[in-house]
Amino acid sequence: MALSESRILMIDDHIDLAEDLMEILEGVGATVAHARTGAEALELARTPFDVALLDVKLPDATGLELLPKLRAAGDGLAEILLVTGHASIEDAIEAVKAGAYAYVLKPFNPDELLVDVERALRQVRSTREAETLRQTLGEREARLRILVKTVQALLIEMDPEGVILQANPAACHAVGITSGDLLGRNWIEEFIPEKEWREAIGLLRRVAGEGAEIHRESRIVSSAGGRTRERWVSWTLSRLHEEDAEPGQGVRIYASGIETTEVKRLERRSRVTEKLAAVGTLAAGLAHEIRNPLNAATLQLRLLERGLRRLDEAAEPLTEPLGLVQDELGRLSRLLHEFLTFARPGELQTMRVELGSVATKVVGLEGPAAEEAGVTVNLQLPKGPLEIEADREKVYQILFNLVHNAVEAMRGEGGQVEVILEEAEGGARLRVNDNGPGIPEENLSRIFEPFFSTKPGGTGLGMAIVHSLVSVHGGTIEVHSQGEGTQVEVFLPETPPTVAGAN
């Protein structure tokens, strides 16, 4: 800001002196406004100015009285030079204390005065620049804060031991903290499953020590409303750059994370669906190949049996092996049937189905097998009939497979199966609970995969069939197994979705 672009306020009741000064200042291009009294000066100060030359003695005020008011005018950053004819050291000190930029003695050398004014202008300019910078920084920081606050990613700053120094609302929310913050709490000890502590501590040490940036997917424990839940988060861990750290601060680690629980669930689902589709085509093809010769063989066997019977005693040694072959063919035929149910669930043949009667039939038929396994099966029905629109055969199959698995899980060990039917919003809920060994976590995500079985001789198709039959009804299935037993919950809607092209 050269003199030529500045606005100078001159407050002096000595007209001659003022006119001389104005001439000098205007000579170098400054804009000068002149006031004769304090009141006039305050009036003029409403228009922003850069530097004021203020006479110590005015008709209506002293310069010292006016000084703070002038300083407060405008953006509060203008500088004021006090001008006086008779000065003492005390006056000068007083003036500077009151905030004057300089104390100029009359009569003055015009060149020297210009130097003083220019210096004051430079001062004004640098304070204004600093102020603008401060404001920009403040705004930028505020914007960053909003970003950190509203972003969905979890952002945490912690020390190498996992003690939290800062955390954004998304991070608080993810672990179920809705009020207060996480400051000073230990992220690892409080929010990571205990079996993963060692790994987490190792990771933090690596980031702190080597400064490596590490990406890792891991679980966090969140508790809300008395319920704890595990969620998956994909993390990026990095160390704060030394040049960004304040001196004396220890190493700090930044963790930013994106929740992936839902993504993982969907991935798992689509894996199952993909396999189902592939296996479906394969099984359908196989079924064609096998069914015809199987039927032909069964027919021929029956003829053979009839012929043998006519031979009376001579045939005796042959009836037993014949029976065995027939049994084996029967087994093969059932397996084929299971394949087909799974691979081609067929069109939904819907009707009003009273679920209680279906469940009663399942429990009745599974009864002998359960008894033999040392397992009791209890059925809890709602008071009245529970009817939905569904495919009776398929609902039967769903319940049968679930009860069958529950009984098999406790074979020999004994136990109880609870089959519970209840009304639910928009449909019905079927629950099959057992107090067997449960399903280990690593298997839980795989039980719907076709051919996944932990049983010797298991087909691994039971749950896959259940999944596919529940899906064609537009229902949902959830399997819980944590600690004691296994709980399966199936929801079937009041009416299944209309099959595309069905009408």
Q: Which residues lie near ligand ADP (CB under 6 A)?
A: 401, 405-406, 409, 434, 436, 439, 443, 447, 452-455, 458-464, 486
Quick one: which segment of 279-287, 338-346, 347-355, 461-469 binds Mg ion (CB under 5 A)?
Answer: 461-469
Smallest distance, ligand ADP to C-beta of residue 274, A: 17
- CA 339, 433, 484, 195 torsion-angle sign: positive
The alpha carbons of the chain give a radius of gyration, in whole angstroms, of 44
Nearer to ligand ADP, 101 or 452 (CB): 452
Q: How far is the CB of 401 from ligand ADP (least distance, A)?
A: 6
DSSP state of 240: P
- Residue 477 DSSP class: E
Chain position whose Cβ is nearest to ligand ADP: 462
Burial class (CB in 10 A: 0-12, 13-18, 19+), 403: buried
SS3 labels along 71-112 = HHCCCCCCEEEEEECCCCHHHHHHHHHCCCCEEEECCCCHHH
* Residue 172's binding partner out of Mg ion, ligand ADP, none, with CB under 5 to 8 Å set by partner kind: none
| Nearest-approach distance from CB 404 to Mg ion, in angstroms | 6
Using CB atoms within 10 Å of the CB of residue 426, give its burial: 0 to 12 exposed, 13 to 18 middle, 19+ buried: exposed
Which 8-state DSSP code applies to residue 160? Answer: T
Residue nearest to Mg ion (CB): 462
The first and second tokens of residue 376, run together, are 């009791």
By C-beta, is 47 or 443 nearer to ligand ADP? 443
Range 381-420, binding Mg ion (CB under 5 A): 405
Phi, psi at residue 6, to the nearest 5°? Answer: -100, 160
Q: Cβ of residue 405: shortest distance to Mg ion, in angstroms?
A: 4
DSSP code per residue over 414-428: -EEEEEEEEEETTEE
Q: What are the Cα distances from residue 270, in Å, to 266, 267, 274, 444?
A: 6, 5, 6, 16
The least distance separating ligand ADP from the CB of residue 453, rounded to whole angstroms, comes to 3
Q: Is 6 in the site for Mg ion (CB under 5 A)?
A: no
CB nearer to Mg ion: pick between 450 and 462:
462
Q: Give which of Mg ion, ligand ADP, none residue 459 binds (C-beta under 5 to 8 Å, depending on kind).
A: ligand ADP
486 binds, among Mg ion, ligand ADP, none (CB under 5 to 8 A by kind): ligand ADP
54 close to 11: Cβ distance less than 8 angstroms? yes
CB of 436 to Mg ion, least distance (A): 13
Q: How far is the CB of 499 from Mg ion (least distance, A)?
A: 27
- For ligand ADP, the closer of residues 304 and 336 by Cβ is 336
Task: Name residue, tokens 């359908």.
Answer: 284
Using CB under 5 A, list all residues that contact Mg ion.
405, 462
